[in-house]
Chain A
Amino acid sequence: MTETPLFRYTLRLADNALVLGHRLSEWVGRAPVLEEDLALGNLGLDLIGQARAFYVYAGEIEGRGRDEDALAYLRDAGEYCNVLLVEQPNGDFAATMMRQLFYSAFAHPFFEALQKSRDATLAAIAAKAVKEMAYHVRHSAEWVIRLGDGTDESHRRAQQAADDLWTYTGELFEADAVERALIEAGIAPDTAALRASFDNAINDVFDEATLQRPGSGFMQSGGRDGRHSEHLGFILTELQFLQRVYPGAKW
């Protein structure tokens, strides 16, 4: 069965949001201060909410009766099509905040543009998500600045996180055949046009944080076509365990 570009595209958006939301939810009870336990939970909830909306829509587009849970819980890693950035482990607090900054500095202008999509459902989901992502940028940027311009140790950790994660930022801006078809149809924004906005946001934050922006270097990709890092399998093992052990049960 051939899937439509719109289905594939919507699924990518859903998978990005779910996998990153899942990662953030792993922090609960482990954050450096109580306020951050609450904040990381909020960020996670925003993303899980976005994922649900995109999965429901993907299921409708596909028209085979798969609901949000069938899509989230019953696909294997090779069928997941999130970008590699979001599945990277939480690492220390600096790595989590850097990952959040990189993702949201992309996602915020992305959803801003997707609000103007000719697809009314995607536009409506984007209109809600754009406000959420503006907060994610603000929150993660504040922390990256604090850590970068805090102590020697926090500076070193923040720089390390930037150096380790930068290689996953290129994939955010790749457009393949799936995406180009939708760009032409006025459904998907052209991510190449978002690059400047992302660069400006990152440059501003890094300047204030006294961090070195990593050089261009080699960019890892493949997640959107189902070629993932080793980490995703473990996420799905945990996420899907009950649905897999008790097939067909309702919870």
Chain B
Amino acid sequence: MYTQALNIKDMAAAAEDSAFDARFQSRVDAEEKIEPNDWMPDAYRRTLVRQIAQHAHSEIVGMLPEGNWITRAPSLKRKAALLAKVQDEGGHGAYLYAAAETLGVSREDLVEQLLDGKQKYSSIFNYPTLSWADIGIIGWLVDGAAIMNQIPLCRCSYGPYARAMIRICKEESFHQRQGYEIMVTLCRDGTPEQKAMAQDALNRWWWPVLMMFGPSDKDSQHTDKSMRWKIKRFTNDDLRQKFIDATVPQGQYLGLTFPDPAMKHNDRTGHWEHGEIDWSEFKRVVAGDGPCNRQRMKQRRDANENGAWVREAALAFAQKRRARAEAAARIAAE
């Protein structure tokens, strides 16, 4: 970006950039990790900031739909597990903001962009959690889909992001197993009402979960470059297919029916085929008209505004303390 202001040097800078660029790409091709102080193309940096920030925001906003049920969890064991899970998600947000900060942005700035609606978070968190079974479904499917997306990111070319993802993926797979275990309890050992609760939850969440992998490859804008930079390693459709293939047998074990009459196993390819995804719904939710977009953002904004006096107090206290320490040091020196 800095070259834009210096018109005369444009040509030289462009030539220099392209030399750097070639070297950068060869390092990426050799599976070397790019570290914060290494040279990187501006567009690479921007892509990473956007993606890591969006990922961090998703962890933070993702605390809300499940957080809803902490006070209503049906047993003490479930209550403790859910509270710990939601906390893990907050922890993921913290690592990811820290990873983004290695690229020269600040957490405060990113949070502000989220609250101003300039940065996105995963569309899935704009759906409501209406019953306890939704907590099982989120662990099983939402964390499950997140893992499919994130395991390849453990090999992402950008070192700090890759390392954050390794830690996060371990916890996500624990969440996924825990969620599935809730579903087993409801579906295999549960009462007819509990089974109905589980089926209703699957009916509401299945299609939005498939949308988590993003637009179909033919409509995806970012894929090509991200693949070349090894930020992304599989296409949206590939990951979606992998997820469906892994998930359908799990749903069958639970005795649940997927809300997709077109779903069928293709014996020739070995894949489960699915019906058409309603991309108009996806676009609508991403654009801000999902069932809970306004509610989720209002809760984040309220927390931020209600906490402003606390953050100011912490800052004022730290300044006072520093001033006192300096004064004491001066007196001691005299």
| Chain A interfacial positions (CB closer than 8 Å to B) | 18, 22, 25-26, 28-38, 41-42, 44-45, 48-49, 51-52, 55, 68-69, 72-73, 92-93, 145-147, 149-151, 153-154, 157, 238-239, 241-243, 246, 248-251
Contacts and interface: CB of A to CB of B under 8 A. Distances in A.
Interface in B285-303: 299, 302-303
7 contacts: A29-B63, A31-B307, A36-B307, A45-B83, A149-B320, A150-B314, A151-B312
Interface stretch (B12-20, B32-40, B74-82): B74-82
Given A45-B87, A146-B317, A52 B71 contact: no
A44 B86 CA distance: 12
B45 to A, nearest CB: 24
B253 interface: no
A62 B56 CA distance: 48
Contacts of B263: none
Interface string B131-171: 01000000000000000000000000000000000000000
Nearest to A29: B67
Q: Point out which of A52, A248, A251 has the most chain B C-beta atoms below 10 A from its C-beta.
A: A251
B316 interface: yes
Interface residues of B, number: 48
B150 to A, nearest CB: 20
Interface of B is mostly: helix
Contacts of B71: 22, 25-26, 238-239
Interface of B: 60, 63-64, 67, 70-80, 83-84, 86-87, 90-91, 93-94, 97, 132, 182, 185-186, 189-191, 193-194, 299, 302-303, 306-314, 316-317, 320
A32 B86 contact: no
A38 B79 CA distance: 16
A104 B254 CA distance: 45
A151 B60 contact: no
A142 to B, nearest CB: 10
